[in-house]
Amino acid sequence: MLETSSRRLALLSLLQSRPEWPGPELAERLGVSTRTIRNDVESLRELGYPVESTRGATGAYRLGPGARLPPLLLDDEEAVAVAIGLRAGTGVSGMEESSARALAKLEQVLPHRLHRQVAAIHESTTRAPEYLGTNVADPEIDSAVLSRIAAAVRDREWFRFDYAIEPEAPSDAPTATPSVPDGRKLVEPYRLVNWRRHWYLVGRDPRSGDWSAYRADWITPLMPTRRAFTPVPLPGLDYTSFVLRDVAATGWKVHARITVFAPAEEVLARINPTVGVVESVDEHRCVLVTGADSLETIAVYIGMLGLDFKVTGPPGLVTHLKTLGNRYLDAVSP
């Protein structure tokens, strides 16, 4: 049997790990009687933990919301940061289960106001595929900024902010800079997308109807507008694909739309999502929207797909492919 203080900490940990525990099950886990469990629960209540109970043949206990966060003793910002990090994942294989258990304990006791912040960020966020081999330093992002953006997305309210682009050191991955100029912005906020350790807001200008991706760490929120909007569907693409296309395309000197004679799922399985966007046409065809620094790079890239395709533009790419095709034919002619 555990000593009294250790047993109560163990009881508190169990209560944080899932919504409800039958009294006999707690007693069995801790090796004590149900009467001892009742006494320990009463002691936890005296310490300020709102342990709720239900009557019945067995009785059950749950830790209610509004409690402080023992034994971690996290403040509000730390609690939100930990919850967001656990939801986003560590990127380390094999830690999913332990992260889920820790998140369950934390969310069980989050005060309502913090639970709303975490839920807003989670529900308004999409995580895009990572680019392996990137060499970009993690940007600093204020959790209060993320909370403000997520709240605007959740409440469907116009979002006003100042946007200031900060220069970055060169990297070995596609640029993480969306093609949006500095200045004051007013947008309809739709989604937060997390990609390559950056956060992006997908928003629509209510006056022009233009869609854009904004780096969240370059956003300074202004006073809330309290003005609701009616959502407009993003044409043709999901939010994640839009961000990948918008951000990656800023580094392309040459752009191309290539019809590939294969299902979109097969093409997606063969490409890195940071270097192209696939638009489904039907079950047998799709369009690959891609680009590069040169026509030669695009020609090599699409040849490596290992699938049949057709190119109608740009004219320079069509000409280069004809030249390349003839060169290959000459190389294998008798």
Give the H/E segment covering residue 140.
none
Q: Assign 103 a pLDDT band (cuts: 50, 70, 90).
A: confident
Could you give the CA distance from residue 5 to residue 40 in angstroms, rounded to a whole number? 9
pLDDT at 306 > cutoff 60: yes
Per-residue confidence band for 88, with pLDDT thresholds at 50, 70 and 90: low
Query: Which residues, 6 or more positions from 7, have their beta carbon under 8 angstroms from its beta carbon?
Result: 1, 30, 32, 40
| Spatial CB neighbours of 232, under 8 Å, sequence gap ≥ 6 | 188, 204, 209
Q: Which has the higher per-residue pLDDT, 159 or 96?
A: 159
Residues 6+ positions from 42 with CB-CB distance below 8 Å: none
Angle at 329 between CA 326 and CA 331, to 5 degrees: 110
Residue 268 has pLDDT above 50, yes or no: yes
Instruction: Evaluate whether 27 touches 34 at the Cβ level (below 8 Å).
Output: yes
Closest residue by Cα to residue 27 from 18, 36, 19: 36
Q: What is the DSSP letter of 308?
A: -
Higher pLDDT, 123 or 136: 123
Query: If residue 173 lies in a helix (H) or strand (E), which one and from where to where?
Result: none
Contacts of residue 309, Cβ cutoff 8 Å, sequence gap at least 6: 258, 259, 260, 261, 288, 302
CA–CA separation, 308 vs 57, rounded Å?
68
- Residue pLDDT, tens place only, 160-213: 999 998 765 444 444 455 667 778 999 999 999 887 677 899 999 999 999 999
Query: Can you tell me the mean pLDDT for 57-85?
Result: 70
Examine the pLDDT at 232 and tell me if it is beyond 80: yes
Question: How high is the pLDDT of residue 132?
Answer: 39
What pLDDT is stored for residue 261 in this prediction? Answer: 95
- Lowest-pLDDT choice from 202-211, 218-227, 237-246: 237-246
Q: How confident is the model over 19-70, as pLDDT tens digits?
A: 889 999 999 999 999 899 999 999 888 888 888 888 776 679 988 876 555 5
pLDDT of residue 46: 85
| Alpha-carbon distance values, 302 to 51, 287, 289, 308, 310 (Å) | 61, 12, 11, 9, 10
Does residue 117 surpass a pLDDT of 90?
no
Express as a percent the part of the chain with pLDDT over 70: 80
- pLDDT tier at 102, thresholds 50, 70, 90: confident
pLDDT of residue 176: 53
pLDDT at 129: 57
Residue at token pair 């937060």 = 192
Q: Which of 91-100, 276-285, 316-325 has the lowest mean pLDDT?
A: 91-100
pLDDT of res. 91: 44
How does the average pLDDT of the chain come out, rounded?
81
Distance between CA atoms of 251 and 290, rounded to whole angstroms? 11
Closest among 235, 244, 233 to 288, alpha carbons compared: 244
Q: Which carries the bigger pLDDT value, residue 205 or residue 235?
A: 205
AA letter at 112 = H
User: Of residues 70 and 120, which shows the higher confidence score?
Assistant: 120
Cα–Cα dist 96/118, whole Å:
19
- Give me the DSSP letters along 224-286: ----B----PPSSS-HHHHHHHHHHHTT-SEEEEEEESS-HHHHHTTS-GGGEEEEE-SSS-E
Q: What is the mean pLDDT of residues 78-88?
A: 73
pLDDT given for residue 178 in this prediction: 61
DSSP run (H or E) holding 63: strand 60-63
Which has more confidence, 24 or 105?
24
Confidence of residue 71 (pLDDT cuts 50, 70, 90): low
Which residue type occupies 26? L
pLDDT at 119 over 90: no
252 φ/ψ angles, rounded to the nearest 5 degrees: -90, 130
